[in-house]
Amino acid sequence: MFGLQNPTKFLKFAKLVGPWLGGSTILLIGSGLWFGLFNSPADYQQGETVRIMYVHVPSAWMGMFAYSVMAIASAIALVWKHPVADHLARGSAPLGAAFTLICLVSGALWGKPMWGTWWVWDARLTSMLILFFLYLGYMALAGAFDDPERGAKASAILAVVGWINVPIIKFSVDWWNTLHQPASVTKAAMPSIDPAMLLPLLLMGVGFTTFYATLLLWRVRAEILATRIRNIRLAQIHAEGA
């Protein structure tokens, strides 16, 4: 994987893997939606609104996963100065922000019929909102400097420090008394969810992951090409000035 720090090798890798990830995304999400909408039962308490779970839960997973990718890539960029690592972090930020926003909106739609309100200052909800603001802060900081290297370093530090919020999101329902239900899938014992509901949930979770990976490859590829174009233009400007 460290060989992919070379932009040229990464472009070849993205060209090879991208179509497979895209095809897998269509198959997984399509299957997940079919099983979730037509082959899974309604919940005995929540009724048909439980189907929001098939979008809400995977988007929550991806919001945390994308931030973890961003934080790891930022740490690598800070320590080893790998050229592709910063592109990975920058490419992951808007994708993670979008997943987190979907999570917050779908959670509000789910919470209204269940809790009687669109929003509560629950530990899980509040920490997820903070995650969304961390994404926005990262993107704003990355573009706040005239010098791209200064922006990259400042935003990378924010990403690494802000990662502390991810375990807070994960364990908030265990640490505090919250309205949000505890984990139903990632448990030490067997998942406390009906297999007919678990299958589409897992299909959607894996499908969201391949969707994220597909878009991330596209974004990193675009970042690499944009950097090359910028370097060529700078070289031309310096040549004309000389």
How does pLDDT run across 153-201, given as a tens digit for each residue?
Answer: 999 999 999 999 999 998 887 666 665 566 566 554 556 688 889 999 9
Model pLDDT for residues 13-23, shown as the tens digit of each residue: 999 999 999 99
What percentage of the chain reaches a pLDDT higher than 70? 90
Q: In terms of residue numbers, what domain contains 221?
A: 16-181+203-234
Q: Average pLDDT in the 144-161 region?
A: 91
Count of domains in the chain?
Answer: 1
pLDDT, position 185:
60
Handedness of CA 21, 22, 25, 30 (dihedral sign): negative
Residue 6 in any domain: the answer is no
Contact (Cβ atoms closer than 8 angstroms) between residue 199 and residue 17: no
d(CA 123, CA 126): 5
Amino acid at 159: A
Contacts of residue 110, Cβ cutoff 8 Å, sequence gap at least 6: 49, 52, 53, 56
Domain CATH code at residue 157: 1.20.120
Residue 4 in any domain: the answer is no
pLDDT, position 188:
46
Model pLDDT for residues 73-116, shown as the tens digit of each residue: 999 999 988 889 999 999 999 999 999 999 999 999 998 888 88
d(CA 68, CA 62): 9
User: Both tokens of residue 151?
Assistant: 């922006």
d(CA 212, CA 129): 20
Contact (Cβ atoms closer than 8 angstroms) between residue 224 and residue 11: yes
Residue 186 in any domain: the answer is no
Residue 107 in any domain: the answer is yes
For the chain, helix (H) and strand (E) counts, in that order, are: 7, 0
Confidence of residue 3 (pLDDT cuts 50, 70, 90): low
Residue 193 in any domain: the answer is no
Diameter over CA atoms, the chain: 76
Question: Tokens 């720090």 correspond to what residue?
Answer: 5
